[in-house]
Structures are given as C-alpha cells and as structure tokens.
C-alpha cells in the first residue's frame, strides 16, 4: 500500500491483539476503517484479499483522513466462548466494567466509522473463525444494549461491506452474506454492501480474467463507501 505508513501495534501482554495492524494515511481528524480479515491465506495467495486490496487502495487514494485497522483473525488466539468465558464476561458486564482485554475486539468494532469484512465462501457461508469473532464482539453494553423494546445496536459505523470469493457459484445459498447483514442490523444502522467474485474454480472459466474484472469493479465501488 504505497504512501501508507505501516505501524505494527504490538501489545506484549495481550496475545489476542499482537496481530492488529494500523495503517495511517495522514490527516488530523482521521476516520477509522476496521478491516476484519477472516482469510486463512496470505496476500499473494488469497483471492478475497486481492479484492479487498483493490477496494481499499482505491478508497485511500481519494481519502487522506483514514486510519485503517486490520484484524487478522487467523493470527489471533480466538476460541469459541466457553462456560467460564461467558460467566467471566457476564460478571464484568454486571459491574459495567469493560476494561478487560476480552472486550478489545468489541471496542474496536464499536468505535469504527466504517467496517470491511473479508472471508472466503466456505461450506455455504464462511470460515468458523468469523463466527467466533462475532461471539466476541456481541457484548451487551458495548456494541448493543437491551431496551424495553428489545435489543438496540450501539455501533456508529455508517457503512459495512462484506467481501467474499467462491470457487463455484453461490446462487441463493448466500448464507454468509445474509448472516453478516443480520449482525450489521443487530449492532448498528449503517448501510450494508457486499461484493463477490464467483465461479473461480470452474473448469472452463478463466480465473485471471474474472479476478481482473472483479478487482476493477470493486475498486469503483469505493466511491460510494
């Protein structure tokens, strides 16, 4: 990412967060874009990341007031919440104490002005690590709260985008997108966008041509994000 200063944010005492990367694009009052990277493969191998990079590079060329925070889920020590974890979390919540590091991901999600989630299309949805991430950000008192009329989202994001790629065609089986859209509505009231490149592993389809067009198409979407 040319022209973007790379800062590795490492917290020695917090193994959960040593793989959060912050890109500063200049400016004093910067908007925060949270990038939730649920891709197992690295750049150069992941087609989903290729789409994201095309999108964000186009966006940041037009916006100088951006701080991009990338959370690499596969590099974090994320695990499904256990009975102990839930009881511990509920104990903190009952005291309105959200200072423990177990709430860091929820704080990041709440504070983001815009959010991008990228995940490959696996088994009709997405990798399980993304569901574990959602369990960690859905925190009563940070990202949502309960009212007399039911739950209310507290997050301030204006836009949330979901990016995926698939070897075949997704058709009506877009359960990953539908789930993320539901979470976006549950935690906030921002706009939801999605983009996918499909059919990449089908025998008679030219993968490179499909990806080239997809990268061009998603880059143009940056104007509306």
With tokens 């574990």, the residue in question is 132
Residue 71 near residue 108 (C-beta atoms within 8 A): yes
The 3-class secondary structure across the chain, one letter per residue, is CCCCEEEEECCCCCHHHCCEEEEECCCCCCEEEEEEECCCCCCCCCHHHHHHHHHHHHHHHHCCCEEEEEEEHHHCCCCCCCHHHHHHHHHHHHCCCCCCHHHHHHHHHHHCCEEEEECCCCCCCCCHHHHHHHHHHCCECCCEEEECCEEEECCCCCEEEEEEECCCCCCCCCHHHHHHHHHHHHHCCCEEEEEEECCCCCCCCCHHHHHHHHHHHHHHHHHHC
Mean pLDDT, the chain, whole residue set: 89
Q: What is the pTM of this model?
A: 0.89
Q: Give the pLDDT confidence of 4-50 residue by residue, as tens digits.
A: 333 223 222 333 344 566 666 555 568 999 999 999 999 999 999 99
* The pLDDT of residue 19: 54
Residue with structure tokens 């039911």? 150
pLDDT at residue 74, as a whole number: 96
Q: What is the pLDDT of residues 151-176, one digit of tens each?
A: 999 999 999 999 999 999 999 999 99
Homologous superfamily, domain 5-224: Flavodoxin domain (3.40.50.360)
Q: Where are the domains positioned within the chain? A: 5-224
């Amino acid at each position: 990412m040319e022209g973007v200063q790379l800062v590795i944010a490492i917290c020695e005492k917090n193994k959960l967060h040593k793989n959060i990367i912050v890109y500063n694009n200049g400016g004093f009052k910067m908007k925060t874009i949270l990038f939730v990277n649920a891709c197992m493969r690295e750049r150069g191998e992941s087609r989903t990341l290729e789409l994201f990079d095309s999108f964000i590079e186009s966006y940041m060329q037009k916006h100088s007031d951006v701080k991009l925070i990338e959370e690499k889920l596969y590099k974090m020590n994320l695990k499904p919440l256990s009975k102990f974890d839930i009881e511990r979390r509920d104990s903190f919540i009952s005291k309105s104490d959200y200072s423990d590091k177990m709430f860091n991901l929820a704080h990041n999600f709440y504070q983001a002005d815009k959010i991008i989630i990228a995940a490959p299309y696996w088994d009709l949805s997405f990798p399980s690590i993304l569901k574990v991430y959602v369990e960690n950000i859905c925190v009563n008192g940070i990202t949502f709260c309960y009212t007399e009329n039911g739950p209310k989202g507290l997050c301030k994001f204006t836009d949330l985008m979901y990016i995926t790629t698939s070897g075949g065609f997704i058709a009506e089986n877009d359960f990953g997108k539908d789930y993320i859209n539901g979470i976006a509505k549950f935690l906030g009231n921002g706009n939801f966008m999605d983009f996918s490149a499909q059919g990449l592993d089908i025998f008679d389809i030219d993968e490179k041509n499909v990806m080239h067009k997809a990268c061009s198409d998603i880059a143009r979407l940056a104007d509306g994000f």
